[in-house]
Structure 1
Amino acid sequence: MIQFLIHLFLMTMNILFMSMNHPMSLGLILFLQTLILAILSSIINPWYSYMLFLIFIGGLLVLFIYVISLASNEIFSINFKLLSLIYLMLMLILLYSFYLDFFFFSNFLNQDSQIFNINMKMNEFNFSLIKLYNFPTNFLSITMMLYLLFTLIASIKISCVSKGPLRQMFN
């Protein structure tokens, strides 16, 4: 049931994402979606969800700096009619799903067996993380790390720090 509510919240966030036009609100929605997906994937394996969260947050920080340098003076406004319509749709979908789920309590009581199955899956996924850095795939990991290092060095060399921010100042 909790997974259903998380999926419902993610769908609502997708609708909100399509209706926003300010870069800061888009970044906030991306952050919330990343956080929710990390929580949802932590049921299966916490390490993958932790890595996913850190990678997405790193990318969002880069996007945040880029947006700050390009569009720093835009006015942020919230459309309350659209927001109330989306929340009304969310509540109607939630009530409709409770109405359709006649066996809600039996599913709720069977969650103990599902938790046992999830624990068994977690033991299987822990071995897959070890395989990532062992002999056949360690060259791929080292190549990816070196590629990221060279990309970082190239982007530092390309950007001229002495010329100021990325946006142009017109006098």
Structure 2
Amino acid sequence: MTGTTVSDLKAYLAENPGAVIEDVARDRNVSPQTVIEALPPGMVKFCQGSAFTEAMQDIAQWGEVTFIVHTADAIFEFTGPVPNGEVGRGYFNLMQPKGLHGHLRHDRCAAVAFVERPFMGKSSAFVAFLNVDGGVMFKVFVGRDEVKALRQDQLDRFRALAERFGAVSVR
């Protein structure tokens, strides 16, 4: 790791567990996956990227979530249901004519991270799809109810999905 040591990163995240992953990665000159792996114990579990299609098909049944793509130049957020998708022509295709739709390079997904941590003073939970370069392809956040609490039904599905894939902590 260039620019910081693993122990420095872990110490920083122990004091700042809600730090923006991509910002920490850029500031510390590490991959976002390295940042996620350094989160405090109990906040993250990983499974293989081969879970991509099944995970996305399950998430499509959750209802309204927030889908985020964070690049160096922009943060795109979509709040609504993730559409059903299927593999075809080398992509996982989100099958919907309006709203969230597109074509995802599922074969570049190396890992799926299930993250529960504080963010901006509230509990958050999201699924991060990590590419072969250690970058975040996109994240899907558990939705919130009318009082801005995590939707319990989705949080239960999030946790069950991690368990179904045998997701394990990095520590």
Task: Give TM-score, length-normalised by structure 2.
Answer: 0.24
Higher helix share: 1
Higher strand share: 2
CA radius of gyration, larger in: 1
Task: Give TM-score, length-normalised by structure 1.
Answer: 0.24
